[in-house]
Amino acid sequence: MLQQTQVRTVIPYFKNFIKEIPNLKVLSNTKEKKVLKLWEGLGYYARAKNLHKTSKILTQEHEGKIPNNFEALKKLPGIGDYTANALLALIYNQPRIGLDGNVKRVLSRLFNKKVEKVEIIFKTKRNGDFAEALMEFGALICKSKDPRCFECKMKKICSYYLSEEKIKFKKKKNYQLKSYDIFCYLKKNKKQIALTKNNSLGFLKNFNLPKIEKTSKNNKNWKFLCNFKNSISNKKLKINLYYKFSSKIPSKYNWYSLNKNSDFIPTFTKKIFKEISYLYQ
Ligand code: SF4
């Protein structure tokens, strides 16, 4: 649930999910439709589907246990290097580290050289705590901007702190942030979406895109599906996607099949199609 989503947003969904589906066995016996229903509003339905598929594989092939080796974990739906390493460290206390941006930065500073992968295996009695502490340390102390060296317990051994010539990190571009809401009308029993050829979204003008309106989050009929981030030159775009099932669509709109894979449909719109398709499964 926490992939691409803030803790604050996840908490009520997580509590409700756990209340309804308290363990792996129950999850593996739950209908996918119910899992997706409980996920409704969190978006990125691929996560829910992968979680559900994984629960079935774990109960059928792994006696309901999470595998304790990297290769087996990587075969599970939705689990990549980062998650596999984090699970092995946190569950099995293995000397592994989930390398995200924060952790890479902390290690790069400690050694005052760019660290892209972990060549050194750290061994402590508490490898899981160590992996978790590194993530927290990067978020709270060795922050990307203005690291808090003055209170850092590592400064006596930190090469970045001690060195005259400090490693330089690439500066982030000064992006202009723009946020858009896209509202998609969907047909209930057919995989179809209402599209128009003209819209006011300047950066994708004249493309077939779902209907766009001003944010109306108070309108309970629109449900949040997910958001996409995209960068175009010096603009950073955040697209919030909402949907509702409706048989009526505004004029100048036509129904299009979500299975349509024409070259005329831009990649971005295809991404939206893919996310929406999960609602019909
Ligand atoms: S001394 Fe500063 S740069 Fe080094 S690890 Fe601590 S916070 Fe990061």
The domains found in the chain, sorted by start residue, are: 176-280 (3.90.79.10)
Digit-coded pLDDT (tens) for 171-189: 766 677 777 777 888 888 8
Judge if pTM exceeds 0.75.
no
Atom of ligand 1 nearest to the CA of 149: 2
Residue 239 main-chain phi, psi, to 5 deg? -105, 115
What mean pLDDT do residues 26-31 have? Answer: 96
Residue 208 near residue 196, CB atoms below 8 Å: yes
Digit-coded pLDDT (tens) for 77-94: 999 999 999 999 999 999
Q: Decide whether any atom of ligand 1 lies within 6 Å of the 212 Cβ.
A: no
- Where are any strands of DSSP class E within 162-257? 176-186, 192-195, 223-232, 235-245, 254-257
Atom of ligand 1 nearest to the CA of 141: 7
3 Cα: distance to centroid of ligand 1 (angstroms): 27
Digit-coded pLDDT (tens) for 38-75: 988 787 788 898 999 999 999 999 999 999 999 999 99
Predicted confidence (pLDDT) at residue 210 exceeds the cutoff of 70:
no
Q: Decide whether any atom of ligand 1 lies within 6 Å of the 141 Cβ.
A: yes
Residue 223 near residue 40, CB atoms below 8 Å: yes
Rounded to whole angstroms, how far apart are CA atoms 171 and 160? 17
- pLDDT score at 142: 95
